[in-house]
Amino acid sequence: MGRFLSFRLLGAAVVLLAKSFVIFALIGLMPGDPIDLMINANPETTPEQMAHLRAIYGVDQSIWLRYVHWLTDALGGDFGFSRIQHRPVLDIVIPALGNTLILTGVAFVISTVLAITLGTLAALRRGSWVDRTINLFAFAGISVPSFWLGLLFIYVFAVKLGWLPAGGMPRPEQGWRGMAAHLALPVATLVIVEVGGLTRYARSAMIEVLGQDFIRTARAKGLTNQRMLLRHALRNALIPVLTLIALQLGGLFSGAALTEAMFAWRGMGRLILEAILGNDYNLALVCLLFVTATILLANILADIAYTWLDPRISLGGRRK
Amino acid sequence: MSEAAVSVWQLRWRRLRRDWPALAGAGVLVALYLACRAAPWLEDWLGVSGVETDLLSRFEPADGQHWLGSDEAGRDELCRLLRGGQVSLSIGFMAALGSSLVGTVIGACAGYFRGKVDMVLMRFTDFVLALPGLPVLIILAAIDLTKLGFSQDFVRSGDAGYWRIVAIVTLLGWTTVARLVRAATLALAEREFVLAARAQGASAWRVLWVHVLPNAISPVIVATTLRMGGVLLTESALSFLGVGIQPPATSWGSMLTNAQELIATAPLLAIYPGALVLVSVIAINFFGDGLQSAFDPRSDPG
């Protein structure tokens, strides 16, 4: 276990390093470097001043030199300043992380519980109208553009009915009620979008388990339906579902970008969009690397969850 | 006809024929596509335009001439939706096809040549898979193509906007198919008929093209279909954020660019394009799901 973990963590670190370069290079290809923006702001800049500015900011150097320079600073704990907000990058990222975790965490718990419940129901009543309704709901959730769904919610619940705020962050003095009111619409959007795929997955896992011999044995022993379901079926059906959930943890920080943007929720996803669209190089880079790191960690976590939940699988070779 | 003479594709068609949600999905898609192709004809007939702006007739309600009213620049909303649909559906189709082609080549090479080739290609697949999708797509969509050596004229043209979206969605979307094809190739490469072909001196390309790929194609067809739905969603998100299809070109996503302002003033204009995306993606998913069960030998025979 220890050896496996250190091996995988080392691998993830190498991948992260490679990704940091790729993202660094890609951002460098975006239009408008910081100097262009300054020149736009002050049209009287002379060519000498431009060259001087480029030298100060290091934009005239090759991509490799700039990357090595950035990397040494980053490894020393200096992630640089945000161009737009004029604050150290970490000061901006950390509160955004907290906000995102509140939003995606609540949505994640609700959609997981809902998906397992709906998936089990559909599997037990396979082919009935319950199954078909749940299936249609799941398909609709997978197929809806999340930002458009958010927009509909804003229109109905904020503009028309006026029940809930259209977006923004709750003020501290509003207490838990304010928090709940501001969370309701973005959480509902995220849950509907996330729950579909997970429900379908839970349903097929449950159907597979229900067809197995040990379920027949449990039934033959005369167990009640409820006991059979909880002790035997659900436990086994949850194994593949939980690994999928572990994989989805990777999307916790960036997966809600559009929803956050739509509801003006000051989280990581919105921060990433703003940083990229506003040419805030340092900020975008750090955010993206952080998000990538969580995706890689979630993959490792999924592998561990696999072996932990199903002792038949060893960490050496993953079962297909 | 005797049972033995029924080909596997006939069997699959029999199963699909009974799957009414899948057929309905296919029907809706074909109908939408035909309606979109008919946009110029409809414009002539009604005497309206989905392209020309007319600032004297902004936000007109629906009537006999403007069936769905007119938009914020006085264009006919219905015709604009149909013209946008042409672009959106065609991007979905092209990018899904592109992803599958790239994925098939990479997966087949990895599965057939194995060893170091397999290791390098699969690490690369993992690498692409673990990129944060939407943010990287936005960066790719915003990249200044002149810095990559493309001419100014090309970059400014409408074609560039279209092909850029197709290219970047392909670039990040091939991983699923690569994994599917690799697994199928690995399994097929050990079978007798492949060994026999190799023993007769068939080249790697011939073995892959004639013996392996035709037997590995069904999951790829399903994945391509489902991928098309994913591409439609991605395109709408990118265009909504302003980095997708650029005006004067129109797509369902780009019609939603101003949706946040429109929802307060003319909510229907913000609802139509998204509803069409939703309907097409649901139709695609139902059809793909039907294909999957029709191709799966474990499901009930037709």
CATH number reported for the structural domain that contains residue B160 in this entry: 1.10.3720.10
B278 touches chain A (CB under 8 A): yes
CB-CB neighbors (< 8 A) of A14 in chain B: none
Q: For residue A227, is pLDDT > 60?
A: yes
Looking at residue A81, the DSSP 8-state letter turns out to be: B
Q: What is the pLDDT of residue B281?
A: 92
Residue of A254 and B275 predicted with greater confidence: B275
- Contacts for B91 with CB less than 8 Å, ≥ 6 apart: B162, B165, B166, B169, B231, B232, B235, B245, B251
Q: Is residue B75 part of a domain?
A: yes
A299 touches chain B (CB under 8 A): yes
| Number of structural domains chain B divides into | 1
Q: For residue A73, is pLDDT > 90?
A: no
Q: What is the pLDDT of residue B300?
A: 47
Contact (Cβ atoms closer than 8 angstroms) between residue B42 and residue B79: yes
CB-CB neighbors (< 8 A) of B267 in chain A: 155, 159
Give the residue-averaged pLDDT of B9-35. Answer: 84
Q: Is residue A30 part of a domain?
A: no
Share of chain B above pLDDT 70, in %: 87
Which residue shows structure tokens 């006939």?
Answer: B10
Q: For residue B272, is pLDDT > 80?
A: yes
Q: Is residue B30 part of a domain?
A: yes
State which amino acid sits at residue A151. Answer: L
Q: What are phi and psi of B70, to 5 degrees?
A: -125, 160
Nearest CA among B226, B293, B298 for reference residue B14:
B293
Q: What is the pLDDT of residue B301?
A: 41
Which residue shows structure tokens 């990357």?
Answer: A67
Mean pLDDT score of chain A: 79
Contact A143 B285 (CB under 8 A): yes
Confidence grade of residue B113 (pLDDT, cut at 50, 70, 90): confident
Domain holding A215: CATH number? 1.10.3720.10
Confidence grade of residue B101 (pLDDT, cut at 50, 70, 90): very high
Q: Is residue A50 part of a domain?
A: no
Give the residue-averaged pLDDT of B290-299. Answer: 76
Q: Is residue B116 part of a domain?
A: yes
Query: B263: nearest CA in chain A?
Result: A155
Q: What is the pLDDT of residue A64?
A: 79
> Can you give the pTM of this predicted structure?
0.83
Q: Is residue B2 part of a domain?
A: no
Contact (Cβ atoms closer than 8 angstroms) between residue A150 and residue B274: no
Q: Is residue A266 part of a domain?
A: yes
Share of chain B above pLDDT 90, in %: 9
Nearest CA among A239, A238, A272 for reference residue A256:
A272
Contact A276 B138 (CB under 8 A): yes
CB-CB neighbors (< 8 A) of B176 in chain A: none
CB-CB neighbors (< 8 A) of B256 in chain A: 145, 147-148
| Number of structural domains chain A divides into | 1
Buried b (16+ CB within 10 A) or exposed e, B77-111: bbbbbbbbbbbbbebbbbbbbbbbebbbbbbbbbb
Q: Is residue B4 part of a domain?
A: no
Q: Print the domain residue range for B87.
A: 21-47+65-295
CB-CB neighbors (< 8 A) of A159 in chain B: 263-264, 267
Which residue shows structure tokens 């990433």?
Answer: A272
Give the residue-averaged pLDDT of B120-138. Answer: 83
Q: Is residue A218 part of a domain?
A: yes
Confidence grade of residue B100 (pLDDT, cut at 50, 70, 90): very high
Q: Is residue A75 part of a domain?
A: no
Q: Print the domain residue range for A273.
A: 89-309
Contact (Cβ atoms closer than 8 angstroms) between residue B22 and residue B52: no
**Residue in A16, A19, A23, A29 to test binding to B, most B beta-carbons within 10 Å:** A29
Strand, helix or coil for residue B299: coil
Which stretch of A45-54, A99-108, B82-91, B101-110 has the lowest confidence by average pLDDT?
A45-54
Q: What is the pLDDT of residue A318?
A: 45
Q: How far is CA A99 from CA A214, A239, A296, B220, in A?
A: 45, 30, 22, 40
Q: Is residue A74 part of a domain?
A: no
A21 touches chain B (CB under 8 A): no
CB-CB neighbors (< 8 A) of A29 in chain B: 143-144, 147-148
Query: A11: nearest CA in chain B?
Result: B123
Contact A23 B183 (CB under 8 A): no
Q: Number of residue pairs across A and B with CB atoms under 8 Å?
A: 124
Contact (Cβ atoms closer than 8 angstroms) between residue B227 and residue B99: yes
Contact (Cβ atoms closer than 8 angstroms) between residue A228 and residue A193: no
| CA dist., res. B111 & res. B107, Å (int) | 6
| CA dist., res. A230 & res. B120, Å (int) | 44
A175 touches chain B (CB under 8 A): no
B139 touches chain A (CB under 8 A): yes
| CA dist., res. A129 & res. A256, Å (int) | 32
CB-CB neighbors (< 8 A) of A30 in chain B: 139, 142-144
Give the residue-averaged pLDDT of B111-123. Answer: 85
Contact B130 A292 (CB under 8 A): yes
Q: Is residue B15 part of a domain?
A: no
Sign of CA dihedral B59, B63, B64, B68: positive
Confidence grade of residue B99 (pLDDT, cut at 50, 70, 90): very high
> How far A259 CA sits from the closest chain B CA (Å)?
11
Which stretch of A57-66, A195-204, A295-304, B104-113 has the lowest confidence by average pLDDT?
A57-66
B20 touches chain A (CB under 8 A): no
The H-or-E segment that residue A24 falls in is: helix A2-28
Q: How far is CA B191 from CA A209, B108, B112, B186, B209, in A?
A: 31, 15, 12, 10, 15
- Which among B142, B240, B274 is the nearest to A31, CB-wise? B142
Phi-psi region of B203 (alpha: psi -120 to 50; beta: other; left: phi over 0): beta
Q: Is residue A32 part of a domain?
A: no
| CA dist., res. A74 & res. A89, Å (int) | 11
| CA dist., res. A146 & res. A197, Å (int) | 14
CB-CB neighbors (< 8 A) of A31 in chain B: 142-144, 147
CB-CB neighbors (< 8 A) of B286 in chain A: 139
A18 touches chain B (CB under 8 A): yes
Contact (Cβ atoms closer than 8 angstroms) between residue B243 and residue B142: yes
Q: Is residue B16 part of a domain?
A: no
Nearest CA among B200, B5, B139 for reference residue A19:
B139
